[in-house]
Structure 1
Amino acid sequence: MKSIIITGAGSGLGKELALSFGLKGYHIILTGRTMQKLKSVEEQIVANNGHADSFLVDITNRSAIQEFMNEANSKFDLFGLINNAGIGHFGPFEQLTIKEIEEMMLTNVFGTINMSQTFLSSKKNKSEGLIMNIISTAGLKGKAKEAGYCASKFAVRGLTESMQKEYENSGIQIKAVYMGGMDTPFWDQNDHIQDKSRLRSPEEIATIILANMDQETIIIESKGK
């Protein structure tokens, strides 16, 4: 059974993608920072007659990623990777702290780089595969009070577009997903989005992604855009 690794799989879009791909017959490798959340998703997948395993993985720690990937590669048939985990700090540019900017770069940029490189190096079958980067429309255009976040997402956009060119003649599919804000716990730690009525649910975003898997680039704007 082909396995798909999903980062940030304990909640939000990561959870919904895990449930959706699980129904498609893939074995889902759930990764994140909270085992309780991952196990809850794992139980839901199994309850739907699917297959899943959970791992605590710090995507900012390359050695931890390598250790995880070695174990996953020895146990499963690695097919895909969905780089979904991300963090955001928002507010006036001058008030962003260096720590906040570094956190976004470490998770959003280097997390994606570390996971992708290690995954590709670990794959036994290079004739097929999938890497999907969940980027956000913040990687398509600058936004007020999102300078650091946009900078990290523009970096992931450049990485993804370059990977698409590098692997276009291989069996490895590289897909980019740019979606507007979602109504998830992502916004619970800040007041950047006060009216969530225009935000799509993670379930809706996951459904749109699955329906457009034939596309290399999937752009999903917020409602009303």
Structure 2
Amino acid sequence: MDRIALTAEHPSYVIALTGGIASGKSAVAHCFEAHGIAVYDADIAARAVVAPGSGGLRAIVEAFGAEALDAEGQLDRASMRRRIFADDHARLTLEAIIHPRVRQWLQDHARTDRGPYCLLAIPLLTENIEHYRWVNRILLVDAPDSTRLDRLIHRDQIDTTLAQRMLDRQASRERRMALADDIIDNSGDRAALEAAVASLHASYLALARHA
């Protein structure tokens, strides 16, 4: 994939951190943060762009009606999750509202970062890769599908059917691996994960110095 760098006003090297759902992206992000590296998370961005009073939330209400809101006037995430995983049209409509706003939020934060490099945690990077050609490198957190399924069931307290449907909606493990510049195997213990991150951190510092 050809990459288009950010403008010269942005000195930081940008790493896109991705992986399938329940692969352990948060654990990897925390390891990089322990090295003093900023991580800008698409999940945080997705909440920010649909906060009460935002244009994103207004657009969702226009598309889905007032039932998209909870009693406090915020996005009813549990209800919307059930709706979009049962209805492809609803999913695409919601993505068309949220994803462009999330991409802008991430790019704005990357532009103002002043570390040697920064990470953008983007779960759906593979599915939207054409919109992220400006990142310098892609880091994939990988784990077997069976491991991710088990983690997802326990993490979200959902049944196997819904968990499997959520995994199936995402790009295949093979497609993610084909796009990655670097891969962390997160099927081991915490010590192995920290060692892998430390090695990559040293590599990224060197790459950033010569970027």
The answer, yes or no, to whether TM exceeds 0.5 is no
Q: Whose strand proportion is higher, 1 or 2?
A: 1
Q: What's the TM-score bracket when you normalise by the shorter of the two chains?
A: 0.3 to 0.5
Q: Whose helix proportion is higher, 1 or 2?
A: 2
Structure with the bigger RCO (C-alpha within 8 Å, sep 6+) is 2
Q: TM-score, normalised by structure 1?
A: 0.38
